[in-house]
Amino acid sequence: MLLISVSVNCWGQFNSGGFHIDRLSAQNGLSHNSILCIWQDSDGFLWLGTKDGLNKYDGYSFTVYKPDPADPANTLSHNWISGICQDRKGRMWLTTLGGGLHLFDRQTGKTITYRIDPARISLRNAMFSIIEDREGILWIASREGLNRFDPETRKFTLFPSPNPERPDVYTVKEDRQGRLWIGTNSGLYQLDRRTGVYSRFKLSQGTTDTTGAVSLIYPDPTGALWIGTMSGQFYQLTAAGKLQIIYTYQPKGREINRYYPFGALQMDRAGNLWGTLPGHDGLIHVNAKTGKLTRVLASPTQAGGLSSHTIFSLGLGREGILWIGTDNGLDKYVAQPKKFHTFQLVPNNNIVRLPENSIRTICQDRSGIVWFSNDLGDLYSFHRETGRYQRYTLGPASVSHVFNDGVTAIFEDRAGQLWVSAGLYLHRLDRKTGLFSAYPCQVRVRCIREDASGKLWMAGRGLACFDPQTHQFTYYHHDPKNPNSLGDESLVAVLPTRDGTIWAASTRRGLSRLYPKTGSFIHYQPHYQHAPGYLTDKDIRSLYEDRQGQLWVGTNQGGLNRYDARTHSFTAFTTNDGLPNNHIVGIVEDRADNLWLSTNQGVCRFNPKTKVCRNYDESDGLQSNEFFDACATGMNGQLVFGGPNGFNIFDPSTIQENPLIPPVRITRVQIQNMTEQLPIETLELPYQENDLSFDFVALNFIMPEKNQYAYQLTGVDKGWVYCGTRRFVSYTNLESGTYTFRVKASNNDGVWNEQGTHFHIIIQAPFWQTWWFKGLLLLLVLGLIYGGLQYRIRQVKHQEEQKTAFNKQLAAMEMQALRAQMNPHFIFNSLNSINRFIMKNESEKASDYLSKFSKLIRLILHHSSMPVVTLESELESLQLYLTLESLRFDNQFTFSIQVGKEVEPAYTELPPMIIQPYVENAIWHGLMHKEGGGCITINWQVEKDVLICTIEDNGIGRKKSAELKSKSATRTKSLGMQITSNRLKLSQLLDGRQPTVHIRDLVDPDGEPAGTSVTVRIPIS
């Protein structure tokens, strides 16, 4: 950037240090690079009027508004935006260079156009600028005079130009006294609002005012008026009314088809004046303290300068940012300096890494001189006051080549002696002669520290102790056979602590702690099962003891570890606790007891009490995000850090933070992936539109990329969700209900807007979740319950009636079955059989028969009182019955009862007295008239929860039996079979299961009757 001092009156040279500009252009999303006007609204958004539309900037991206031929009623009528003004009611007004005045809705992006004499092309619609006066009236400068617009009545009042031959009015301003100043093509005027009369204000000292057009008027906060003319004069009219010329220049001529730069001025918070003059290249700066005026021009060879000589507009943001609108984009100048300054041996702003600037070890002595070594191994001193670097080498008469192997460690002891390690030598600087004394050392040293007795401890390829009084070394090495020896030979750091012990850090085996009195070591290593209380990494990179005697350990990938001397345990702090990186290569302490940590992602200020981290990176002025293990505490509380691109020296107490709380705004709402208009307070949605996305922004324009965000949707998120720099969030499948979406944010320095912003969301319930539907449903349910109860009552009543009838019928059937089983013929014949045994004096047979008979009768009576009996009991009664019948018929038939292995008689239940009638029928029908005796076989099986009983006889068959027409037998048979059939039907009604009976005639190979087979299938559970 080119700085040109203008010596006019008391004006002098401007100090350009730290003047750096960032540029935004069409490549960043601007609709056009020519910025004609700039305005920051009450919400914090930056609005830019260009030659091709209106742009809204939020610090990250641009939103562009242009004329739309398809929707002329709701969009801009002209693409040249010449003026922007937000009135006291928050309404935004735009002037265009040909399209008239526009009322712009910032919420919807729609416009209402107000044109003067819409029936014809009027030059009054070619508007240059706009202001709002203290009464809320808008004043508009145009190519054909001055326009007054009342926002309430929406009507224009037209004032003619003071000079009809030169009607252009370029600017209108209201000063602190409420006077209207008009800059026209023919000079400077005041307007009497009451009479509408102009009065000319002379700027020249002669009797004739030869001043040309006035296009720049700026009433500053002090009451002074600054005036710029197109003929090259720059005036100040003080609050006391004194007019003085500040600067005279030769303006460049108006170019064809180009918007002429009329000039713009802004005063910052410090009272400095920034501006551009009519027809004048570059930027001017007037220092409020010294009164010096400086002209700033764009330079094609210097990065960070103005992007163009031609400046159309200026804007001063709430953060103190100076926005500069040029014909080559938008320039941003942040007056607040960067927090850190980088020093380099070889100036280098490129991405090329130079070994001269790569700092490997560094130290600041008590006089403020910085000593460092770089990748080339050279030793340098740096005098900050003069900016002078000095390289140190040994004279040719020296017996040892001191720095031939490269400097690896630099340290100043409490006595003020500077020690330098290079190769296998330790060197001491004689400050009077500037010469070094060399002491041979067996260890290649990477770190030097001093203990309480003044001895130097050195870590490198082993551990060494040097006594400056005796010049003697003591060495400690790793002995694999001695567990109490040094843990490892590869050391990077050593630290004598106030308790008298020496800590040594290894890149391979953790920490070794030496007790000098005994010469033995204790070792600390990670627990590889990740147990708490252990080191988090075996690769140690830095050690530090703070003022409270607390030991801190920086690791390669395990973050920061704090050692507890009482429990001999470690507590880790990592990126999960706010650290920028887990690679900690340097630790130093400031005067406020904060720890400063150098990492691979910048520098972190860590408060050990609150555990709060404040992270800084390259954008804050650090030499790089990457640092080496080169750090030190300097004089007067200064800290020094070195890395691959130079070193930083700073006083933590002087770091300036951005104190402004950033406004937070929700910029977009998407419903079902469709962008919707932002709600004013509450967003109401039907139940099916329950996928929502939100975009939000913190309107802090100082390093906006470092703004942090947090959001919460009440009812979904239990607490704040801290999302870093992410500026959007999505929710899917939200249930119906009322929600509040809240978002808060911090600025680049971690200052949070805890209040943030919010709006309410109501997702309507589907009709089946509404109160009226639930009421109807409740009534319906109650009705169904009532109807169901009534139906059930009738059903139960009917079932009870059926059950009563069934029980009566069942009791009758059981009595019939009992009577059938207790057939009088059977009982009479059984008693006759007993009597016959008695008559024959066969007492034992009579007794046995009588016993079996009585037992059978007892079983029949017992079974008659039960709905079901076990198969085991049924088999017993059948066995007794067949035995008695066989004895009664003098063993004319035999019988066999077979039970399958799958049948469990003790656990299988069936209705009583079901099988006996079929057995009796087989005896009386089939076997009674068979010659030569017969046989009955009863077989029991279970298949698929069905009990199958098969009764087979080899009697005369049903056909021949019917021919015999034994009336007694027929009646008995018919009675028993009918009763059993009825009982089976009743059983089906009782439990819903279907027993079946199948009767089949058996024939021999000749087709003659050979008996009968009856199969009874009874379902069982």
pLDDT in tens, 943-990: 988 999 999 998 888 878 777 755 444 444 445 566 666 666 655 555
Edge-to-edge order in the sheet of strand 197-201? 169-174, 180-184, 187-192, 197-201
pLDDT at 911: 83
Residue 963: Cβ within 10 Å count: 8
CA distances 555 to 150, 509, 512, 564, 790, Å, are: 69, 12, 14, 17, 80
Spatial distance between the Cα atoms of 916 and 980, rounded to a whole number of angstroms:
9
Burial class (CB in 10 A: 0-12, 13-18, 19+), 586: buried
Task: Encode burial over 845-875: b for 16+ CB neighbours within 10 A, e otherwise.
Answer: bbeebbebbeebeebbeebbeeeebbbebbb
Q: 36-272 and 342-440+526-654: same fold?
A: yes
213, 232 contact by CB (below 8 A): no
621, 341 contact by CB (below 8 A): yes
Class of domain 664-768: mainly beta
Joined tokens for residue 441: 């050392």
SS3 content of the chain, % helix, strand, coil (to 5): 15, 40, 45
pLDDT at 218: 96
CATH number for region 342-440+526-654: 2.130.10.10
Amino acid at 634: G
In degrees, to the nearest 5, what angle opens at C-alpha 167 toward C-alphas 164 and 169? 140
Burial class (CB in 10 A: 0-12, 13-18, 19+), 588: buried
pLDDT at 83: 97
pLDDT at 969: 44
pLDDT at 205: 64
Burial class (CB in 10 A: 0-12, 13-18, 19+), 890: exposed
Residue 420, classed as helix, strand or coil, is strand
What DSSP assignment string belongs to 612-670? -EEEE-GGGT-S-S---SEEEE-GGG-EEEEETTEEEEE-GGGPPP--PPPPEEEEEEE
Burial class (CB in 10 A: 0-12, 13-18, 19+), 883: middle
The ranges of the chain with pLDDT < 50 are: 1-18, 207, 255-258, 395-402, 967-974
pLDDT at 397: 39
Phi, psi (deg, nearest 5) at residue 330: -105, 125
- The torsion region of residue 972 among left (phi > 0), alpha (psi -120 to 50) and beta comes to alpha
Print the SS3 string covering 672-685.
Answer: CCEEECCCCCEEEE
Task: Compute the Cα dihedral for 78, 79, 80, 84 and give only its sign.
Answer: positive
Nearest Cα residue to 38 out of 326, 278, 428, 398? 326
Residue 946: Cβ within 10 Å count: 14
Burial class (CB in 10 A: 0-12, 13-18, 19+), 787: exposed
pLDDT at 799: 81
pLDDT at 403: 56
Find the helix packing angle between 967-991 and 771-821, rounded to 10°.
Answer: 160
913, 867 contact by CB (below 8 A): no
Joined tokens for residue 973: 């048979």
pLDDT at 458: 97
36-272 CATH, one of 1.10.10.350, 3.30.300.130, 2.160.10.10, 2.130.10.10: 2.130.10.10
Residue 976, classed as helix, strand or coil, is helix
DSSP state of 734: P
The greatest distance separating any two alpha carbons of the chain, rounded to the nearest whole angstrom, comes to 179
Instruction: Kindly provide the residue ranges of all beta strands, DSSP E only, lying in 727-799, ordered along the sequence.
Output: 728-731, 737-746, 752-763
Residue 799, classed as helix, strand or coil, is helix
Task: Compute the Cα dihedral for 151, 153, 154, 158 and give only its sign.
Answer: negative
CA distances 185 to 166, 168, 176, Å, are: 6, 5, 24
307, 2 contact by CB (below 8 A): no
pLDDT at 993: 65
Q: Where are the domains of the chain?
A: 36-272, 342-440+526-654, 664-768, 821-1019
Q: Report the CATH architecture of 821-1019.
A: 2-Layer Sandwich (3.30)
Phi, psi (deg, nearest 5) at residue 749: -105, 20
